Chains A and B, each alone.
Chain A
Amino acid sequence: MPAAILARLVLLEARRGAMPWLAALAVLAGLSLAAFLSQVAVTESRALQTALLAALLRACAVFLIAAHVAASTVREINDRGLELLLSLPLTRSSLYLGRLAGFALTGVLLATVFAVPFLAWAPPAAVAAWGFSLACETVLVAAAALFFAMTLSNVVPALAAVGGLYLLGRSVDTIRAIAAGPLAEASLPNQITRLAVDGVALLLPPLDAATRTEWLLYGAPAPAPYATSLAALAVYALLLVAAGLFDFHRRSA
Chain B
Amino acid sequence: MSSDTRPLAVVPIWLCLMLAAALAAQVALRAARPPAAPAAGELPPPPSAATLRLASFGEPQAAARLAMLYLQAFDFGGGSATPYRQLDYGRLEAWLGTILELDPRSTYPLFSAARIYAEVPDAERSRRMLGFIYREYQRDPNSRWPWLAHAALIAKHRLHDLPLALAYARAIDRQTTASDVPLWAKQMEIFILEDMNELEAAKIMLGGLLLSGRITDPAEAAFLQQRLEELEARTSR
Contacts and interface: CB of A to CB of B under 8 A. Distances in A.
A204 B33 CA distance: 12
Nearest to A181: B73
A203 B26 contact: yes
Contact of B18 (A173, A180, A206, A242): A242
Interface stretch (B34-42, B156-164, B183-191, B204-212): B34-42
A243 interface: yes
A235 B78 contact: no
A243 B20 CA distance: 9
A242 B73 contact: no
Contacts of A249: 6, 10-12, 15
Q: How large is the interface on B (under 10, 10 to 19, 20 to 34, 35 or more residues)?
A: 35 or more
Nearest to B37: A177
Interface residues of A, number: 30
Contacts of B27: 202-203
B70 A178 contact: yes
A203 B23 CA distance: 8
Main secondary structure of the interface of B (DSSP, over half): helix
A236 B30 CA distance: 10
A183 interface: yes
B5 A235 contact: no
A201 B30 CA distance: 7
B10 A235 contact: no
Interface in B46-90: 69-70, 72-73, 76-79, 83
A95 to B, nearest CB: 14
A227 to B, nearest CB: 13
A243 B6 contact: no
B198 to A, nearest CB: 39
B4 interface: yes
A235 B25 CA distance: 7
B113 to A, nearest CB: 14
Given A177-B37, A182-B76, A206-B30, A250 B22 contact: no
B178 interface: no
A36 interface: no
B31 interface: yes
Interface of A: 93, 173-174, 176-178, 180-183, 201-204, 206, 231-232, 235-236, 238-239, 241-243, 245-246, 249-252
14 contacts: A93-B12, A173-B35, A181-B78, A182-B76, A183-B78, A183-B116, A231-B29, A235-B22, A242-B19, A246-B16, A250-B6, A250-B11, A251-B6, A252-B3
Interface of B: 3-8, 10-12, 15-16, 18-19, 22-23, 25-27, 29-31, 33, 35-38, 69-70, 72-73, 76-79, 83, 116
